[in-house]
Chains A and B, each alone.
Chain A
């Protein structure tokens, strides 16, 4: 018994360290990719001085952020100001703990994994809002208000699509969902049109909503550089800003991992042959590429355009999908 307990504790600690390292490493190198990929689109090189192919650039950025003075304004609410970055990073890493990377590589296998994941991911909204509000800066408070409105608007179609999804899979356990997609890529939920003809549409809605939740362009209203300088993060310097930065990429990572697990078959091979961690990583990074690609291709929407898209378009389509799936389930 004691042996079992010790092993469990060690395992948990290993996973905690491993996940934080994974999130931080990915955040660092996604930020490099974020600069190299648009450079490729824009006929230029991107960072290439620091290390071969710019590979040490994130290290340089990290060192720069760590060596900056952490300024806190006297009039700002100091406790909330310091708490906000933490509140944004921690939920992202907690979500990573729930995702099964491969058959053997997962931190926690909860029966209501999907529900827990969405509950955790909602906390980062609060963190961003507090960051903006406690900064005692007009730009930051406008940005904070925008973040809340945007995130509320995009939670709804996301959860509607997820409710429909759970109706089809009969399970909220992420491990089981991936097992259900074994075989070949025709078993993936993306293409399960026999369950609901609008499944691919559901994937697109899911993807758009995850982009909006992660505050990525074209939904990066709160960070609209040319309007609000740096949005909710205006007053943050040094590692405070760095934590928000890591959180953004960690959120992107969580979104892409979740999309992979739910719709693209997780660690399953497209042809049913060699399943494993490598497939998961390939699919996840392909989705990350699409996220970066979308960011650098589109201008920013207006704020009401963004909300209109959600309330007037995505929610009706998600409802339609829900009803259609229910009908299909009843009939077949």
Chain B
């Protein structure tokens, strides 16, 4: 009897302490999402429950989230680690990098096998005709025209350094937009352009990447970073992640990028296909319809907007009441809310991550802060706009201040307060699309993905519902106003 109780207890404890899902994060660009998807699926085959939080934002967001334990794994590049995250460690010194990472409680997988760095590309037929294989081979062809992206042209570690290292003689070097450079290349206006070594465009435009035989460009080897405690929590997952080492060469990565970017496959499908074909790992691809996807995004979006708006109304109306009664406090409150409004939304989101982590929390907090100003402002304006004769009449009746506020002043200010809440709601519906940057989901998710893939249809999958929701919000508030505000107060007398 006692034994069975103990077993039950142990079972409960085990359930309660059951390891939470392994969370994989990824940066907001196609290769990052594909690698995140590969990592998540590999991890799942190691026996762990996993979830993939896609396109969370930039390096800073992912790095913070990893160290804070918001995510457990994310794909990174050694060059980025060396230049931005672990200053003073050489990108080629993997052992040194591992030691520096260990101090942060982070482990690094074996390099996946490809190096995504700067390179110069030449159309394959031309390269074959002139015998161009490495950067040094350009020395013999001073007449070639170069079209380089502006950033590459200007950076000291870009063109100026490259020209010096290899002694390149070309005179016809123009700065141009990266996308235009590919067109100019096809049109024959230029013969050489800069690119990243795993760009899908390399396959697309049939370019040959010239080898960097003097090791001029920094090393950007893809690796997976994971929390050191993951080895204990999900050893199978870590084994699976480590087994990916050396399995992805540049050609494979180009192909995977190309499948998503040009052939419009989903990252999940591409990652699953590769794992099955090359690693013999079978993972399920959920075939979710557009309707289900939009419904999920709608729920995420609405949850963000409603939670932030409700909290803002509960805080801002009392603040507005206090501000209307005490002018000095009012100036302070309005000033503070005004300053909050000037913080760019993206900056605010990133600033909130160390405090609130990633996901819906920082997004809701940011939306809440942005909602304060319009509601406080309109509450103050509504209360201050009440005719002195009405205020006096309420006082002369013998109603105490709290009853005057509830029975007379707030009802009279209601149209103005509602207008403030409406403004906040409509702004929130729009701003909540940025929540996707910090993993909150919502309509921003397809917008980010669409921008990344240059797919208008995908952008519309987020932008259209967001616009519709904004219009719906307007209409809803018109109804609320009709129901809550007595006829004579609607739109003046």
A in complex with B: no
A-side interface residues toward B, CB under 8 Å?
A: none
